[in-house]
A = this chain, B = another copy of it.
Amino acid sequence: MGAEGHADGTVGKALDVLDMVAGFGRPVRFSDLLVEADYPKATLYRLLQTLTHQGMLTLDPDTGTYALGVRLVRLAHAAWAQSSLAPIARPYLDELARKTGETIHLAQMDQGQVLYVDKRNAARPVEMFAQAGKVGPAYCTGVGKAMLAYLPPEALEAALARQSFHRHTPHTLASREALLAELEAIRKRGHAWDAEEHEAGIICCAVPILSRSGRVMGALSVTSTTARTTLEALGAQAPMVKDIAAKIAAEAESWRFPEQV
């Protein structure tokens, strides 16, 4: 079947189409989608109609192109505020950025990929939407590996199945086996490295954010360059990063229960 996995029911297909439109990154015509998707013409057409009618897509009548609808922005606002760690973690990220002077990433797992929900760039000021929301591979980023390492077996398996290993740099762990060994090491060590595995010259130290029950909620990382520092020096910060991760986890957990009125 298609590149996408198991689409359960109509809803799954509809969301799949949404992703597809999102993937293009520009308004798309019906036919653009038709070649990409492996749904028959009529089916795709109806899905698009439904989504458009629902405000998840917009059809520009002038050009006959579909784009993601603003209803998504509204939903995302709520998602970001209520479900991501970002609003809670915000002050902690500030603190960490200030103390380390490096770039800070806050990420969560999304369908086997890393989703950055917040970021502090040492240099320039905060630019949320433009920065957050980006996705990256899990198997070759610090935050990705930190989360993978603490996933329960089935979830890990599901995540691994979604990785498309690719050797970004000479240091990339581009096989399932190498990655599994590394995850074991991460669990021993308590934090993950990114030793130029994704981009040359970029290194980072990442720790998972775990709930009291051990569930992976996200990950936090301090990123730098080989020009500026070394893995060892970054590692020296690990205890502090871990401490902040724990604080975020604690607050996230207590915060999750405004206990219905």
What residues of B have a CB within 8 angstroms of the CB of A68 in the complex?
Answer: 75, 78-79, 82-83
Selected interface stretch from A18-26, A195-203, A231-239 = A18-26
**Cβ of A257 and Cβ of B63 under 8 Å apart?**
yes
Which residue of A32, A65, A84 has the most chain B CB atoms within 10 A of its CB atom? A84
Tell me the chain A residues, 81-105 only, with Cβ under 8 Å from chain B.
81-84, 86-87
Closest beta carbon of chain B to A236's beta carbon, Å: 31
What residues of B have a CB within 8 angstroms of the CB of A153 in the complex?
Answer: none
What residues of B have a CB within 8 angstroms of the CB of A72 in the complex?
Answer: 72, 75-76, 79
Indicate whether A166 reaches chain B with its CB closer than 8 angstroms.
no
What residues of B have a CB within 8 angstroms of the CB of A69 in the complex?
Answer: 79, 83, 110
Contact residue range for chain A?
A: 35 or more
**Cβ of B135 and Cβ of A74 under 8 Å apart?**
yes
* Docked pose: A51 CA to B11 CA in angstroms: 8
Per a CB cutoff under 8 Å, which of B22, B61, B75 touches A22?
B75
Tell me the chain A residues, 126-142 only, with Cβ under 8 Å from chain B.
126-130, 132-135
* Docked pose: A111 CA to B53 CA in angstroms: 10
* Docked pose: A108 CA to B56 CA in angstroms: 14
Indicate whether A8 reaches chain B with its CB closer than 8 angstroms.
yes
* Docked pose: A86 CA to B68 CA in angstroms: 14
* Docked pose: A82 CA to B57 CA in angstroms: 11
What residues of B have a CB within 8 angstroms of the CB of A25 in the complex?
Answer: 78, 81-82
Given A72-B79, A128-B128: 15 more A-B contacts, CB < 8 Å? A12-B53, A22-B74, A22-B75, A23-B78, A27-B256, A29-B260, A60-B256, A61-B215, A71-B111, A73-B133, A74-B133, A77-B132, A80-B129, A126-B126, A126-B128
| Cβ-closest 4 pairs across A and B | A77-B133, A76-B76, A128-B128, A68-B79
11 of the cross-chain contacts (CB-CB < 8 Å) are: A9-B10, A12-B54, A15-B56, A25-B82, A63-B256, A69-B83, A70-B117, A73-B79, A76-B129, A125-B125, A128-B130
